[in-house]
Amino acid sequence: MMKRIWFKLLRRERGLKLWGLCPVIAAVLSAGCHILPPMPNTVQDMGPRYRPTNIYRRTNALPAQIRRVAMLPLVATDPTAFLRDGVESLGPLLGAELEKCKRFEVIPVSPEQLRQWTGQKGWRTDEPLPPDFFAHVANATGCDAILFCQLTRYQPYQPIAVGWKFSLVANLPTGSLSMQEMKDKILWCADEVLDAGDAAVGNAARDYYGQHLHNETPAADASSILTSPTRFGQYTLAALFDTLPGRVVACRVTELK
């Protein structure tokens, strides 16, 4: 009889101990939520973000008459194998990234078209242009300005690095131009090298991934953009094109009667 009583008492005591452990267990589970690994596509680093600095803008707003821009084919500053590969890999991204800015209508010009109009498949702003170069391109495309596109660096292995030089030239004249006259007609120019090994560049690139590329590859980590030359190239283009002069929006005021 006594054994049965002691047995019931022990069972009751153990039950009370387990109930006493419930708050502890709940606290442990709650704490566990805070020590889980971070979500793969969130940028935990709150460090500085890269912003392009080697940028020239004549004004903060584009002239009203700049509506259509002829985008010339991407050319390499040097005939190295890496730069040639970069032109082939990143050249197709230019038009799409430029159109996302919604600053003007983009008219892509192919290398063959440019050769027919000017005698050469690609041109840089730092080389002598043929006479009536701007007039030929403007007449063929109906553009108001021309965008020169150059790839200055392409390092597809880690840390990835991409360098660009862009020049937006407007007020298309006739006849040949001197170098100084060419500079005077530049509305916007960018000359930057973006290196994924730079912490600020890496932070900005991961931000770009989370905002623009996450839905394309939802299973990938945000840091994967730092190992993909194509995706990193997209980010570099977006970062530079974001510095283009804006577009003034005209507001119509209705007179109250």
Q: What is the mean pLDDT of residues 51-60?
A: 95
Going by pLDDT thresholds of 50, 70 and 90, the confidence category of residue 33 is: very low
| Percent of the chain's residues with pLDDT above 70 | 71
Question: For residue 205, what is the DSSP state?
Answer: H
Whether the pLDDT of residue 174 is over 90: the answer is: no
What is the distance between the alpha carbons of residues 204 and 190, in angstroms, rounded to a whole number? 18
**pLDDT 10s digits, 40-53:** 444 455 689 999 99
| Percent of the chain's residues with pLDDT above 90 | 61
Which of 1-10, 63-72, 174-183, 207-216 shows the highest mean pLDDT? 63-72
What does 136-177 look like in DSSP terms, one character per residue? HHHHHH--SEEEEEEEEEEE-SSSPEEEEEEEEEES--SS--
**pLDDT 10s digits, 88-120:** 999 999 999 999 999 999 999 999 999 999 999
Note whether residue 237 is domain-resident: no
Going by pLDDT thresholds of 50, 70 and 90, the confidence category of residue 132 is: confident
Whether the pLDDT of residue 171 is over 90: the answer is: no
Q: Domain of 138: which CATH number?
A: 3.40.50
**pLDDT 10s digits, 195-252:** 999 999 999 999 999 898 866 665 567 889 999 999 999 999 999 999 999 987 654 5
Whether the pLDDT of residue 36 is over 90: the answer is: no
Total number of domains constituting the chain: 1
> Is the model more confident about 38 or about 186?
186
Q: What is the pLDDT of residue 177?
A: 61
What is the distance between the alpha carbons of residues 241 and 166, in angstroms, rounded to a whole number? 9
Q: What is the pLDDT of residue 244?
A: 97
Q: What is the pLDDT of residue 125?
A: 86
Q: What is the pLDDT of residue 18?
A: 41
* Domain span including residue 140: 55-196
Minimum mean pLDDT range among 119-128, 142-151, 212-221: 212-221
Whether the pLDDT of residue 178 is over 90: the answer is: no
Whether the pLDDT of residue 145 is over 70: the answer is: yes
What are the structure tokens assigned to 195, written together?
């290196």
Q: What is the mean pLDDT of residues 142-165?
A: 97
What is the distance between the alpha carbons of residues 231 and 131, in angstroms, rounded to a whole number? 38
Task: Return the CA Rg of the chain.
Answer: 29
Reference 206, options 90, 39, 44; nearest CA is 44
Average pLDDT of the chain to the nearest whole number? 82
What is the distance between the alpha carbons of residues 67 and 106, in angstroms, rounded to a whole number? 9
3-state secondary structure of 232: helix
Residue 113 burial class via C-beta count within 10 angstroms: exposed 0-12, middle 13-18, buried 19 and up: middle
Report pTM: 0.77
Note whether residue 218 is domain-resident: no
Note whether residue 168 is domain-resident: yes
Q: What is the pLDDT of residue 173?
A: 61
- Identify each DSSP E strand in the chain by its residue range: 55-57, 68-71, 75-76, 105-108, 145-155, 161-170, 186-195
Whether the pLDDT of residue 176 is over 70: the answer is: no
Reference 74, options 25, 101, 109, 28; nearest CA is 109
